[in-house]
Amino acid sequence: MTSVAEPGGLTWLSTSVSDPRVLPMLRELGHEYSTRYGKDAHGELARYPAEEFDPPHGVLLLLLEHGEPISGGAFRRYDAGTAELKRIWTHSAHRRRGLAKRVVAELERIAAVRGYRRVYLTTGPRQPEARGLYLTAGYTPLFDTGADPESIGPLPFEKHLTGRPAGSLDSPEREV
């Protein structure tokens, strides 16, 4: 577990699924998925073994504000050159602050430092906020954006990582 402080009382924390600070995130995310899709989503959240989000192939990040988790997300190895983003989340009391976009950018940065050259993800058809986030963050939709999202199912996106990520070689301690 490592952390990096930022101005304004925000701290990045790289941790594991078993960290008690992750449980409220997963609980709220599960509730939101269940509400949007009308079925219990907690099984989906437990679909991947926890170790898939551990270094060196994965990471689970929390963004803490004054020690409390307010946003987070993870990636796991999808294939040798691709990281798959999972569980991007912002606490309902902290939305509309650009935190999810910061989480995605930090996950991309760490993925690039670890040698991944592409990021892949899927989001659900009933998550228009997530769809908007990925489009504004430079992700390419791998589906017909003119089609009814409900007719597609999970909405896949990709982004190719280019260049040397900031802090990758100049300050390796930055890689929470």
Scanning the structure block, which residue is given the tokens 């960290």?
19
Task: Give the pLDDT confidence of 61-106 residue by residue, as tens digits.
Answer: 999 999 999 999 999 999 999 999 999 999 988 999 999 999 999 9
Give the Cα separation of 13 and 30 in Å (integer). Answer: 21
Q: Which domain holds residue 148?
A: 2-174
pTM of the complete model? 0.87
Q: Closest Cα to residue 104, out of 114, 89, 124, 126?
A: 89
Task: Give the pLDDT confidence of 97-119 residue by residue, as tens digits.
Answer: 999 999 999 999 999 999 999 99
More confident residue, 96 or 43: 96
3 state DSSP class of 166: coil
**What's the number of domains the chain is made of?**
1
167: domain CATH number? 3.40.630.30
Q: How does residue 168 score in pLDDT terms, banded at 50, 70 and 90?
A: very low
